[in-house]
Amino acid sequence: MSKSIEQQIGAMAFQWPHFKLMEKIDQSATWEGVLAPDKREHLVRVHYRVPMVLENFTVLDMQPRVQVIRPKLEPHAEYEQGPIPHVYKSKLDPSLPYLCLFSPSLGEWDVNDLLAETTIFWANEWLYFYEGWLITKKWRGGGRHPSLTTDGAKQLETV
């Protein structure tokens, strides 16, 4: 059975008290908070919706959505894995892509996991490697590279 939104909210409040619950609607929640893996502060938004029992979904459909709100991620097409490595395109706002934090096909995350114990740590780690990528022009964060859309972006539907 998946973790309830109340369990997710409680775990986030306990482990990441500086992440503010911005919105809770039914079985979904959105938080915002600052992560600073290497001095530079990043305002991050995390959105998650608990899937309903009878809902037909894939891991890709149900995964948490993490965006860097400020400063916006810098595209560099000439860098290794540019323009921005390991992100999914956002249809709602292409300037705010979703971070690719794990491989859905490898089962690295599922609805039984708490965001506070996985997603936030992974977002912090992603930002650390992103900051290194801006300096070295090389992505050192590892990861897998699924097929891209015709415009070169991985696609993830919004919740």
Instruction: Write out pLDDT tens, residues 1-13.
Output: 689 999 999 999 9
- pLDDT exceeds cutoff 60 at 155: no
Look up residue 79 and give its amino acid: Y
Q: What pLDDT does 110 receive?
A: 87
CB count, 10 Å around CB of 133? 22
- What confidence tens digit (pLDDT) does each residue in 112-125 have? 999 999 999 999 99
Task: Give dist(CA 23, CA 31) in Å, integer.
Answer: 7
- pLDDT exceeds cutoff 60 at 81: yes
Q: What pLDDT does 119 receive?
A: 97
On the question of a cis peptide bond just before residue 83, with omega within 30 degrees of 0, the verdict is yes
Query: E strand or H helix at 69, and its extent?
Result: strand 65-70
**Is the pTM for the entire model greater than 0.95?**
no
Question: What sections of 38-142 are H helices per DSSP?
Answer: 59-62, 119-136
Domain spans, the chain: 5-155
